[in-house]
Amino acid sequence: MTLEVTNEASSTRPDLSNRDFALDIQDFKVYYDTPRGIVKAVDGVSLAIRQGERFALVGESGSGKSTLAMAVMRLTRPPGRIAGGNVLLHGTDLVSISEEEMRQTRLADIALVPQGAMNSLNPVMKISNQVIDGIIDHIPEDAPKPDADELENRVNELLVRVGLAPMVGQLYPHELSGGMKQRVAMAIAISLSPRVIIADEPTSALDVIVQRQIMQTLGQLQEGLDAAVLLVGHDMGLVAQFADTVGVMYAGKLVEIAPVETIFSNPLHAYPQLLIESIPTMDERKPLTGIPGLQPSLLNLPEGDVFAPRSPIPHTPEDAATVPKLVEVEPGHWVQLSRSSVADFNTYAHLVDY
Amino acid sequence: MTPDGVRSESVVSRLKHATFTELLFVVFHSFLLRRFLFFLLVIWIAATVIFIIPRLSGQDPVKEKLLLEAQRGGAIQTGFEQMAEAYQKRLGLDQPILTQYKNYMFDLVRFDLGTSIAFYPRSVNSMIADSILWTIGLLGTVIVLGFLIGTLAGALLGWPRSPGYLQFLFMPLLTLSAVPQYLLGLILIYVLAFKFSWFPLFGAYNPGTLPSWDFAYIWDVIQHAILPALAFILGAIGFWAVGMRGMMINNQGEDFMIQAEAKGLKGARIFMRYAVRNAMLPQVTGLALSYGTLLSGAILIERIFMYPGIGDTLFQAIRLSDFFVIRGVVMTVILSVATATFLVDVLYPLLDPRINYGRR
Amino acid sequence: MDTPQASQSPTSPPPSRSKTDELKQLYWDRINPIIRYARRNPPLIFGVLLLGGLMLFVGIGYLVYDTEQYRVLSADPGDTRHPPSLQYPFGTDTAGRDLFAVAIRGTPLTLRIGLIAGFFAVSFGTVLAFIAAYYRGLVDGTVRVMADVGMTVPPLLILILIAINIEGGLSVDQMGLAVATVAWVWPARTIRAQVLIMREQSYVEISRLSGSSGMAIIFKEMMPNLIPYITASFVTSVAAGILASIGLEALGLGPFDSPTLGMTIFWNIQQSSIILGMWWWWLPPIVAIVIVFVGLFLISSGLDEWSNPRLRQRV
Ligand SMILES: Nc1ncnc2c1ncn2[C@@H]1O[C@H](COP(=O)(O)OP(=O)(O)OP(=O)(O)O)[C@@H](O)[C@H]1O
Ligand SMILES: [Mg+2]
């Protein structure tokens, strides 16, 4: 099956291959301590995003995408905890800085466009004040306080940049449509021109046309700021049009990372292969549901290749029990190499010691 | 980039283009009008219930009381004749029930609550007027203080970044909220007034002093007010704190709280403008709902402290079977509860923009 | 739809068990997880323990102590105002009542008022809620407005009016009933809301379309799911009933011949026990009342957590 990738942006996307990493996540682990055991929602994830790159993280519901996104912002709450690894933001390890340093980093250097944008605005506060307070709380102690007019102009300019009328600032969240709220969330995210933006399913719960517009706006904002974007999503079609690079997550682990063209034309791991086959056409987008079998419970996962039980590739129990490694099979193309889930394993067997 | 357009126009621009029938529709569906109708309804239903209850019992406690007192040759001998006459005329028990109801309602509308039996010919209105200022003074202060302190305490208890030792306050507060305030009052009197003699035992001022606006008198009044106020506030703090803590904990999981943190706001701002501001809303509704209960509590506190407010008037009237005074006090309290509820209803949209005066 | 149940269709298997067995199983399936869950719910356990301890005191007291001494002048002459001693563990009051006997007798009486009030308030409230939710329209509107008005008016005031119009004052049972006449509003409101939500839900819709009768829907589909709300309303109503009754008694409108906790408080106030320094007189009823209210509060917050899964996840 061949699939035509209509990446509107890709033709015009700049070559990023020799730029610095903006966000470098290394062997990151986030666990939930539940009464029934430890849920390893993110279990040793490594990925790096260059400045100006659009990285999309996809995977079934419950695979740990939001957990990862929130943990990068250090917004994990009990029973969740960061259990190991590093998150380097322009070289600074976010995992080890103080709470106050992290607070100042949020919004200024790394901003979040939330998953539930519908409810992510304070229902009793005017939009403009919700944009302003983030700005005010990031003014250094010794800097002069901006006056009200200055702030208002800034809010208006931000609202216009995300495609909203300035008067929206005078409204309350319940007076806005879902798409407008999502735009407000984006206006807040870019209010301090961060170099890294994390967008967790910014289009969920919106209708298809609005989804498209929102993604276009996000793309324009990204270009304007030359920001690195980590986009979480489960709609492969939407991702295909937006991203430069795609990471596929399964049960808390990354199984394949590749440039967007490669992931569609030459996926190596069985899971992304199945994901892509399950998209009928590019015009009829649908969530990732069409794969037989169920994602395993993240509670007390067995060692080895966790995708093996759903893999269509014939394999022995020993193959499934071998702990696979994420290896770079060609420049920019990483695969979790296991005999049970990678049909071409033998081609790359020389890269691993099992 | 196409702006989504603003979905809701301003109320003004909507009204400008409305036809007359549309305007009528808006008025009848308006929040304020409906709340006002409810206010009237509460008073009307309460007044009707008060009218019906004595007539359901099939007996006439007022008449019995009068006969009893007459036989005993009690304090109300003087002017007994006029009083019996006035009483007959007022209740008009010989008239058809609908006429009685009509007369009763007319009296109520003029806020004429009748005449005391025990202190004939004093009017119930004047008796209530004499005592109500004490109640308003004490209760007003104490309700506001209890609400503010309790809500703040609950907010701190339900805030994950509060110091851990604060949690030790929770059980005592919960216990306080579960104890009726007048019983707290008893304990306070015993410990602080009887054992340690720090405060006067009862009353609102020393029996010997004459009310005047000098410092000594005011100081006296304040000293007398502290214990009843403390009894009330302690209980109220527990009540509001337990509710607020629950709301704060609930709010923690809301998306806007997570987003507030993702915005890198300072802790104090998240606490006040996001967490407390939203958790407050049910508290304010709760204030309107529990105002009646608070007032009942205040009546009993006045009883315990022999504080000469409306609650003490009620108690004395119960002791003397002074029916019209009891009815008058009950009516006054219900009126004040309904008014307070109405006020909170009217002011609530100022706190919560989602509630619109124009629409539902 | 209230079409009568169609006669056994040929395809349906013959009923292997009786209808009541089936219903029992249905409720047991509900209650079993409750019991298992209760073990993980400390407020609930703690509340039950508090009330259980109080009941244990009463039960043992009845067995080993002469509770007839609650009556006036039952202590030996001259033994009035006696502080706690071996002979009178809780002392005696100014009228020569043995206060230990009063505590043993009075506690269950007060609980009885609460239980009567709670039972009738919840029964009446639930029936009204179903009627309102079933007929909707004007009926529902009336019930809703009555409940709203009832919530605004302080129950104590209505109770005062009822009490002063009954000759000779209220007995313990009448007091419970009187409290129920004002306490039904909370159960009616909460349960009405739940029934309205439920009747829109698919399982009720399905069983309605499949021709179940109204009663079958209520008892097989709705009631099991309402158990948490009904239980919670009951506990709240019991507490409200006790609170209102003690208030009424403190104002001198209680049953003069019964040694309830509230009447004991009343005698304390009446005889100025505080100024007499008789702490043993007012302390036991206050402690008992505190135990009852804290116990009921803990149980109700434990039940809250159970009926509100959103909360359950968070705690
Ligand atoms: N508070 C929590 N306590 C315990 N387990 C949790 C908690 N939050 C998430 N999990 C578990 O962590 C795993 C990952 O959840 P996460 O929300 O990150 O998934 P996701 O990929 O974002 O899914 P979706 O596409 O539905 O947003 C899930 O299996 C979930 O059950
Ligand atoms: Mg998610």
Q: How far apart are CA C178 and CA C158, in angstroms?
A: 9
Tokens describing residue C45 = 């356990």
The mean-pLDDT minimum among B46-60, B73-87, B283-297 falls in B73-87
Tens-place pLDDT, residues B25-36: 666 567 778 888
Nearest-by-CA chain C residue for B315: C251
Note the pLDDT of residue B71.
58
Evaluate whether residue A133 is within a structural domain.
no
Residue A73 lies in a domain: yes
**Residue C300 and residue B174: Cα distance in Å, rounded?**
13
- Token digits of residue B132: 């109500």
End-to-end CA distance of chain C: 41
Cα–Cα distance, C270 to C203 (Å, whole number):
58
For ligand 1, atom 6, the nearest C-alpha belongs to A32
pTM for this prediction: 0.81
Is the minimum distance from the CB of A66 to ligand 1 under 6 angstroms? yes
- The pair of three-digit structure tokens given for residue A343, joined into one six-digit string: 């049909």
Which B residues 54-83 touch C at CB under 8 Å? 54, 56-57, 59, 61, 64
Separation CA A269–CA A327 (nearest Å): 12
What digits encode the pLDDT tens for the residues A110-132? 999 987 667 899 999 999 999 99
**What gap in Å lies between CA C162 and CA B54, rounded to an integer?**
8
pLDDT at B77: 54
Positive/negative CA dihedral, A286, A292, A293, A296: negative
Query: How far is the centre of ligand 1, averaged over its atoms, from the C-alpha of A259 (Å)?
Result: 26
User: Does some domain include residue A297?
Assistant: yes
Domain C54-66+90-307 is of which CATH architecture? Answer: Orthogonal Bundle (1.10)
pLDDT, chain A, mean: 87
List CB contacts (< 8 A) between C152 and chain B.
Answer: 42, 289, 292, 337-338, 341
Dihedral sign, CA of C243, C249, C253, C255?
positive
A332 Rama class: left (phi>0) / alpha (psi -120 to 50) / beta? left
Q: Is the peptide bond before C14 cis (omega within 30 degrees of 0)?
A: no
Instruction: Provide the domain count of chain A.
Output: 1
Report d(CA B274, CA B263) in Å as an integer: 12
Q: What is the pLDDT of residues B204-243, one digit of tens each?
A: 777 766 667 777 778 888 888 888 899 889 988 988 998 8
Residues C167, B56 contacting (CB under 8 angstroms)? no
Mutation choice for ligand 1 from A28, A29, A32, CB with most ligand atoms inside 8 A? A32
**Are B337 and C152 an interchain contact pair (Cβ–Cβ within 8 Å)?**
yes
How would residue C91 be classed by pLDDT, with cut points 50, 70 and 90? Answer: confident
Q: Within a 10 A sphere around the Cβ of B126, how many other Cβ atoms?
A: 13
Of A163, A177, A183, the CB nearest to B7: A177
Pairing state between β A92-93 and A196-200:
unpaired
From residue C288, alpha-carbon distances to B118, C11, C69, C252 in Å are: 37, 61, 19, 20
- pLDDT tens string, chain A, 354 residues long: the values are 334 444 444 456 777 777 889 999 999 999 998 877 889 999 999 999 999 999 999 988 889 999 999 999 999 988 899 999 999 999 999 999 999 999 999 999 999 998 766 789 999 999 999 999 999 999 988 888 888 899 999 999 999 999 999 999 999 999 998 889 999 999 999 999 999 999 998 888 788 888 888 898 999 999 999 999 999 987 788 888 899 999 999 989 999 999 999 999 989 999 988 888 877 655 555 554 566 777 777 777 778 888 888 888 888 888 888 888 899 998 889 999 988 888 888 888 888 887
CB contact (8 A) between residue C251 and residue B315? yes
Among candidate residues B178, B157, B101, B165, the one with its CA nearest the CA of residue B275: B157
On the question of pLDDT at C310 being above 90, the answer is no
What are the tens digits of pLDDT across the range C33-74? 666 666 667 788 888 899 999 999 989 888 888 777 777 776
Q: What is the CATH number of the domain that holds A312?
A: 3.40.50.300
Burial A239-259 (b: 16+ CB within 10 A, else e): bbbbbbbbbbbbbbbbbbbbb
Report residue B86's pLDDT band, with 50, 70 and 90 as the boundaries: low
What's the residue count for chain A? Answer: 354
Testing ligand 1's pocket by substitution, the residue of A66, A70, A203, A230 carrying the most ligand atoms inside 8 A of its CB is A66
Q: In B92-123, where does DSSP find H-type helix?
A: 97-109
**Has residue A184 been placed in a domain?**
no
Greater confidence (C23 vs B142) lies with B142
* Nearest CA-CA distance, residue B210 and chain C, Å: 25
Which residues are paired to A82 by β-bridges? A30
Count Cβ neighbours within 10 Å for each residue of A214-230 and write b for 16 or more, e otherwise: bbbbbbebbeebebbbb
Dihedral sign computed on CA atoms, order B207, B213, B219, B222: positive
CA C120, chain centre distance (Å): 9
In a domain, A192, yes or no: no
Q: What is the pLDDT of residue C122?
A: 94
Angle between helical axes of A178-189 and A208-225 (0-180°, round to 10)? 10
| Confidence grade of residue B16 (pLDDT, cut at 50, 70, 90) | low
Report the residue among A33, A43, A45, A65 best suited for mutation to probe ligand 1: largest number of ligand atoms under 8 A from its CB: A65
Distances (CA, A) of C70 to A127, C35, C74, C104, C269: 68, 39, 7, 9, 18
* C-alpha A342 chain-centroid distance: 24
DSSP at A94:
T
Cα–Cα distance between A50 and A23 in angstroms, integer? 7
Q: Which helix (H) or strand (E) holds A230?
A: strand A228-233
**Does A188 map to a domain?**
no
Domain boundaries, chain C: 54-66+90-307
ipTM score assigned to the predicted complex:
0.86
Quick one: pLDDT at residue A206?
A: 81
- What would the two tokens of residue A5 be? 């990738």
Residue B324, Cβ density class (10 Å: 0-12 exposed, 13-18 middle, ≥19 buried): buried
Give me the residue label for tokens 């609550």. Answer: B113
Smallest CA separation from ligand 1 atom 12, residue: A41
- CB-neighbour burial class of residue A2 (10 A; exposed 0-12, middle 13-18, buried 19+): exposed
| Strand bridging mode A325-330 / A245-250 | unpaired
Cα B343 from Cα B288, distance rounded (Å): 9
Q: How much is the pLDDT for A9?
A: 47
CA distance B130 to B309: 8
DSSP string spanning A152-197?
HHHHHHHHHHTT--GGGGGS-GGGS-HHHHHHHHHHHHTTT--SEE
For residue A90, being part of any structural domain is answered with: yes
Cβ neighbours for A33, distance < 8 A, ≥ 6 positions apart: A78, A79, A81
- pLDDT category at B63 given cuts 50, 70, 90 is low
Q: Tokens standing for C11? A: 């395809």
- Cα distance between residue C75 and residue C196, in whole Å: 58
Cα–Cα distance, A204 to A207 (Å, whole number): 8
Alpha-carbon span A40 to A60, nearest angstrom? 16
AA letter at C117: A
Q: Is the pLDDT of residue C276 over 90?
A: no
Report the C-alpha gap between C87 and C75 in whole angstroms. 10
Distance A117 CA to ligand 2 centre (A): 12
Residue A40 near residue A49 (C-beta atoms within 8 A): no
- CB pair distance less than 8 Å for C153 and B42: yes
> Two tokens at A97?
């800085």
The DSSP code for C94 is: T
- Angle subtended at Cα A76 by Cα A74 and Cα A79, rounded to the nearest 5 degrees: 150
The contact set of C with B (CB < 8 A) is 145-146, 148-149, 151-158, 160-162, 164-167, 243, 246-247, 250-253, 265, 268-269, 274-275, 277, 279, 282, 286, 289-290, 293-294, 296-297, 310-311, 314-315
Q: Is the residue at A131 inside a domain? A: no
pLDDT confidence of B91, banded at 50, 70, 90?
A: low
B75-84 long-range contacts (CB < 8 A, ≥24 apart) are B75/B118, B76/B117, B76/B118, B76/B120, B79/B120, B79/B121, B82/B120, B82/B121, B83/B115, B83/B117, B83/B120, B83/B121
Mean pLDDT of C182-202: 83
Q: A121 C-alpha vs ligand 2 centroid, how far in Å?
A: 18
